[in-house]
């Protein structure tokens, strides 16, 4: 009887070990299958995009887009085609270096001015009415300022500007866009 009991225990123990090994193998294989299935889906999706002439989503882009940099400062001098600024150095109260700025071909100069309070109030009221009628509306909130194209000569000494450039270390800085963020008080 004890030999039958030992045989039964040994068989039960082997069965438990077999089930644990089988469960482990199944779970490991299932995880790999999910990854393989996802990788296969992505590969097929990217191949379909390439067949239709679109660039693949993952991988390196075929066209290198230039990286822009932002330089901010206070205008110290303005001529017809050159702007001189004292650059603001982040995390410092000391004035930064004096930099020359020229407007690149096709570049723009924009002035930001606060909206008339009456106009802004009217726009906000219309925005609120639209959202009461349709709470799921994705209309943007009215901006409190207006952006208008201005000439480089419209900038004055003391104006604060933000400059978007492709090369922040160049001298002079070639600006893609100059934005007057604050007007000097005189």
Q: What is the pLDDT of residue 96?
A: 87
- Please report, to the nearest 10 degrees, the dihedral formed by the alpha carbons of residues 122, 123, 127, 132 taken in order: 10
Residue 158 · residue 74 · CB < 8 Å: yes
Do 180 and 161 meet the contact criterion of CB atoms below 8 Å apart?
A: yes
Q: Which of 29-33, 85-89, 131-135 has the lowest mean pLDDT?
A: 29-33
% the chain with pLDDT above 70:
75
Phi, psi dihedrals of residue 78, rounded to the nearest 5°: -135, 130
Q: Is the pLDDT of residue 28 over 70?
A: no
pTM value is: 0.58
Higher pLDDT, 42 or 13: 13
Q: Is the pLDDT of residue 12 over 90?
A: no
Q: Give me the pLDDT at residue 83, please.
A: 93
The residues spanned by each domain of the chain are 1-63, 69-182
């Amino acid at each position: 009887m004890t030999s039958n009991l030992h045989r039964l225990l040994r068989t039960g123990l082997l069965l438990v070990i077999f089930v644990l090994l089988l469960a482990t193998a199944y779970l490991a294989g299932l995880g790999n299958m999910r990854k393989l299935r996802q990788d296969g889906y992505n590969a097929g999706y990217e191949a379909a995009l390439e067949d239709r002439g679109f660039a693949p989503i993952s991988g390196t882009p075929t066209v290198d887009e230039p990286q822009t940099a932002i330089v901010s400062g206070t205008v110290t001098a303005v001529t017809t085609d050159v702007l001189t600024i004292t650059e603001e150095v982040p995390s410092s109260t000391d004035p930064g270096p004096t930099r020359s700025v020229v407007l690149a071909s096709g570049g723009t100069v924009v002035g930001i001015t606060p909206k008339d309070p009456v106009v802004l109030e009217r726009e906000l009221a219309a925005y609120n009415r639209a959202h009461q009628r349709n709470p799921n509306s994705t209309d943007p909130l009215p901006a409190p300022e207006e952006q208008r194209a201005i000439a480089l000569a419209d900038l004055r000494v003391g104006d604060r500007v933000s400059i978007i450039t492709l090369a922040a270390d160049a001298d002079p800085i070639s600006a893609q866009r100059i934005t007057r963020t604050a007007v000097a008080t005189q």
